[in-house]
């Protein structure tokens, strides 16, 4: 945790050290796809930061904002250590619902375009890394390999006793949660005893498991942050997709890259105050704007 705080400070100092930060440019970023494609053709290390907008186009709810409720709660009420301490049953019902819901959702053309681009460029000795705040594994399902899930995953668990992290795609995750988790505000809380909730399978442990996701009030994994920082230092093109560049985590990452003079392209439904700091901005659903941006360039021979 201390390392994590240091890393955050390191990122902040990078931002402050960046020449001209905050950069105020009065010209609008380009939305010229042909210009973007010239930059894309030359890029060797591409970092793609993705957020909730990409998932939203697959119909994945965030349980935040207007209308974003599960029963009478929003994510910020239940995705917290204190909510889990108070009622692990209720929090597990919420996550069980979200896991089961993902069985009905699929990657959209934005996920696919990113995964295809990574596979194609890898054959040319070029790299694509996806840095995502999404926990739904849709990038993984689309085929992305070089993936940093900075907020964890709905399909990983962590033991509250031994700390073991394990992939878990069981449906239901445990027998007691079968048929539970209905989002209806009138649904009864299942009040499942803790011993019947998901338990650690490491030998001799049997500790209570929790979702391996970063909850409100928790810090990001310091190893992942360090790895993200290395990728951002190395990238020569950065895409910010489906996330407002003023909202964490893109706010933390993309300006750092832009301050190095590296082109940043934003793909979003609307302008953000950070838009003016970037070289490119493409407005609209990323499932429409991203595939033509990332498709094979005529200069690619493989």
139 or 156: CB nearest Zn ion: 156
Backbone angles phi, psi at 291, to 5 degrees: -55, -45
Tell me which of 200, 225, 262, 290 binds Zn ion, using CB under 5 A. Answer: 200
23 or 158: CB nearest Zn ion: 158
202 or 295: CB nearest Zn ion: 202
Residue 214 known to bind ligand:
no
Active site residue 151: yes
The CA distance from 201 to 194, in Å, is 15
The CA distance from 136 to 296, in Å, is 27
Residue 59 known to bind ligand:
yes
By CB under 5 A, which span of 93-101, 161-169, 178-186, 282-290 interacts with Zn ion? 161-169
- Is residue 201 a contact residue for Zn ion (CB under 5 A)? no
The one catalytic residue among 151, 212, 281, 297: 151
What are the angstrom distances between the C-alpha of 221 and each of 78, 199, 226, 286? 20, 23, 9, 28
Q: Which strands sit side by side in the sheet containing 45-50, from one edge to the other?
A: 147-149, 127-132, 45-50, 237-241, 264-268, 280-283
- Is residue 166 a contact residue for Zn ion (CB under 5 A)? no
Residue 256 near residue 241 (C-beta atoms within 8 A): no
Look at residues 62, 87, 101 and name the one whose alpha carbon lies nearest to residue 247.
62
Per-residue tokens: 185: 């505000």
Residues 31-60 that bind Zn ion (CB under 5 A): none
Residue 242 near residue 126 (C-beta atoms within 8 A): no
Look at residues 191, 218, 207, 219 and name the one whose alpha carbon lies nearest to residue 3.
219
211 or 242: CB nearest Zn ion: 211
- Is residue 209 a contact residue for Zn ion (CB under 5 A)? no
Tell me which of 18, 143, 172, 207 binds Zn ion, using CB under 5 A. Answer: 207
43 or 173: CB nearest Zn ion: 173
Residues 238-277 that bind Zn ion (CB under 5 A): none
Least distance in Å: CB of 250 to Zn ion?
34
- Is residue 202 a contact residue for Zn ion (CB under 5 A)? yes
Least distance in Å: CB of 159 to Zn ion?
3
By CB under 5 A, which span of 44-52, 106-114, 160-168, 174-182 interacts with Zn ion? 160-168
The residue count for binding Zn ion (CB under 5 A) is 8
What are the angstrom distances between the C-alpha of 41 and each of 18, 121, 122? 26, 10, 14
Q: What single-letter DSSP state applies at residue 208?
A: B
List beta partners, residue 239.
48, 265
Reported as half-sphere exposure (CB side, CA atoms, 13 A), residue 52 has a value of 11
**Catalytic positions:** 151
Binding site for Zn ion (CB under 5 A): 159, 161-162, 164, 200, 202, 205, 207
Q: Could you list the residues known to form a binding site for NAD(+), using ranges.
A: 51-70, 133-136, 242-244, 268-270, 286
Q: Give the residue numbers of the binding site for substrate.
A: 95, 98
């Amino acid at each position: 945790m201390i390392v994590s705080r240091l890393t955050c400070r390191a990122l902040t100092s990078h931002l402050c050290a960046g020449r001209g930060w905050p950069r105020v440019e009065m010209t609008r970023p380009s939305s010229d796809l042909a210009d973007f494609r010239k930059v894309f053709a030359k890029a060797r290390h591409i970092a793609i930061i993705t957020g909730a907008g990409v998932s939203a186009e697959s119909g994945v709810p965030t349980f935040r904002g207007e209308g974003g409720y599960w029963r009478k709660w929003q994510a910020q009420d239940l995705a917290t250590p204190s909510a889990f301490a108070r009622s692990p049953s209720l929090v597990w019902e919420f996550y069980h619902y979200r896991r089961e819901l993902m069985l009905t959702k699929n990657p959209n053309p934005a996920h696919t375009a990113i995964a295809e681009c990574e596979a194609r460029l890898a054959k040319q000795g070029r790299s694509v890394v996806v840095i995502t705040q999404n926990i739904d594994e849709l990038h993984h399902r689309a085929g992305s390999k070089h993936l940093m899930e900075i907020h964890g995953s709905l399909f990983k668990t962590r033991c509250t006793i031994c700390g073991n992290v394990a992939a878990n795609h069981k449906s239901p995750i445990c027998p007691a949660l079968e048929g539970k988790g209905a989002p209806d505000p009138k649904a009864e809380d299942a009040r499942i005893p803790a011993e019947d909730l998901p338990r650690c399978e490491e030998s001799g442990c049997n500790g209570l498991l929790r979702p391996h996701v970063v909850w409100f009030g928790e810090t990001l994994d310091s190893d992942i942050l360090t790895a993200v920082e290395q990728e951002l230092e190395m990238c020569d093109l950065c895409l910010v997709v489906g996330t407002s560049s003023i909202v964490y985590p893109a706010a933390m990452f993309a300006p750092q890259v832009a301050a190095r003079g590296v082109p940043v392209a934003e793909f979003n439904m609307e302008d953000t105050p950070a838009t003016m700091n970037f070289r490119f901005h493409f407005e609209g659903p990323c499932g429409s704007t991203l595939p033509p941006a990332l498709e094979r360039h005529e200069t690619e021979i493989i």
